[in-house]
Structure 1
Amino acid sequence: MAQPNPRCNTCRVRACSVLRNCPGDILETLSDNKKYLHFQRGERLLIEGQRGEGIYFIRSGIAKIEVNGKNGRPLVLRLAGAGSILGHRIHDSTNEQPLSAEAVEDLYVCRISTAFYDQLIEKSPALHSGIMGSLLNEMHQVELHAVRLTHLPVKERVAAALLHIAKLYRYEPGSNGIRVHLERQDLADLAGTTKEQVSRMLTGLQRAGFIKFSGKHFKFFDLNHLQHITALH
């Protein structure tokens, strides 16, 4: 559903996005040629294998990034939050999306066409540099994720997933915690394990005092101990 367009120059998440170093004229052009959209939980922005129809900049909310796995089960590669860009990794030859992206809570995004995106990239070295930096960071995160899935026991993988969630939801020590709009199955997919094992590990971590939660409300994360568990921080 389309919403009134927020302006890129005054966007509250610009500083943590690929647009942070873009000059004012590029931001104004972008503001005039985008649509501001709302996706509800469960709606997909991108579908793996389908043609790319646009580039999305997340303004608020969380999306899960997936690829198809065995027996139709998705493999969750990562979660994307405010400031992330989606849809820019289409294959040049087929114009197909290599990934799927689904809203895990109310998601507000700014969308531009792929044709307009290509024009902006040519006009703005700062935007091109930001995109390349984003791609390199994504590659690094996927590599770390692959190492965790291959070499770490379940407890360490769950701890790594919790750290990822705490960072994405901007958890602050001493705060009232965060309400995570993820199902246990989502967390299991992210950690590469089963829902039952996730529940068991969460209970164990809570008994050890490393986390405190009730349902989807995570009231406390001991970030230092979780980082120590993963040994990959």
Structure 2
Amino acid sequence: MKEEQTLCYSCANENCFIKKHLHLGQMKNYVSQKQQVDCKKSDPFIKEGATFQGLYFIREGKAKTVKTGINGREQIVRLTTNGDIIGFRGFGTSKKYLIGAYALEDTVLCNFSNETMLEILKKFPSSPML
């Protein structure tokens, strides 16, 4: 996985939750804090039980979220694509991810840290974030 800085202003993904629901001019400080994560097919980017590292937004690609079920078998919880949010269950209350997530194809993700997302929610409480 490779991480680098990107800007929401030039993003072609019109399904992005951040782009749809929040005015990017007001988000300038927060957008500069996000990280881009590039994943190859089958790369895990969230490990179930790992320390919470914020929310992921799919900029481009597809991913699956999984949860360990009975007898330790991995069960697919959700399939996600462009604009979808991953890692929101337990956000703000849990210290660990309740799910795992893998790229189903080469995927580009935007990651906003837990602290940044909490600041956004405090500053824009009427936004339909989660």
Category of TM-score, reference length = shorter chain: 0.7 to 0.9
Report what 2:112 is aligned to.
112
Identity between Structure 1 and Structure 2 (%) = 24
The answer to whether the Cα contact below 8 Å between 2:92 and 2:118 also exists between their aligned partners in 1 is: no
Match of 2:15 in 1: 16
Match of 1:62 in 2: 62
| Structure with larger RCO (C-alpha < 8 A, sep 6+) | 2
CA contact (8 A) 1:67 1:99 kept: yes
Kept in 1: contact 2:52–2:94 (CA 8 A): no
Correspondence 1:2 to 2:34 = no
CA distance in 1, matches of 2:5, 2:121: 25
Alignment of 1:201-212 (within 5 A): none
Amino acid at match of 1:108: V
Pairwise CA distance, 1:52: 0.6
* Aligned-partner Cα distance in 2 for 1:26–1:107: 27
Post-superposition offset of 1:90:
2.5
1:46 partnered with 2:40: no
- The CA distance in 1 between the partners of 2:90 and 2:44, in whole Å, is 16
Residue ranges of structure 1 left out of the alignment (5+ in a row): 133-233
Deviation at 1:4, TM superposition (A): 4.5
CA distance in 2, matches of 1:77, 1:53: 20
TM value normalised by structure 1: 0.50
Q: Which residue of 2 aligns with 1:184?
A: none
Equivalents in 2 of 1:122, 1:94: separation in Å? Answer: 18
Let me know the Cα RMSD of the aligned residues.
1.9
- Cα distance in 1 for residues equivalent to 2:3 and 2:102: 18
Which structure has the highest strand share of the two? 2
Secondary structure in 2 matching 1:10: coil
Distance in 2, Cα, partners of 1:86 & 1:26: 23
TM-score, with structure 2 as normaliser: 0.85
The within-5 A match list for 1:159-178 is none
Letter in 2 for 1:47: K
> How far 1:93 sits from its partner (Å)?
4.7
Amino acid at match of 2:22: C
Give the Cα–Cα distance (whole angstroms) in 2 for the partners of residues 70 and 9 of structure 1. 44
Aligned length: 128
Matched, 1:35 2:35: yes
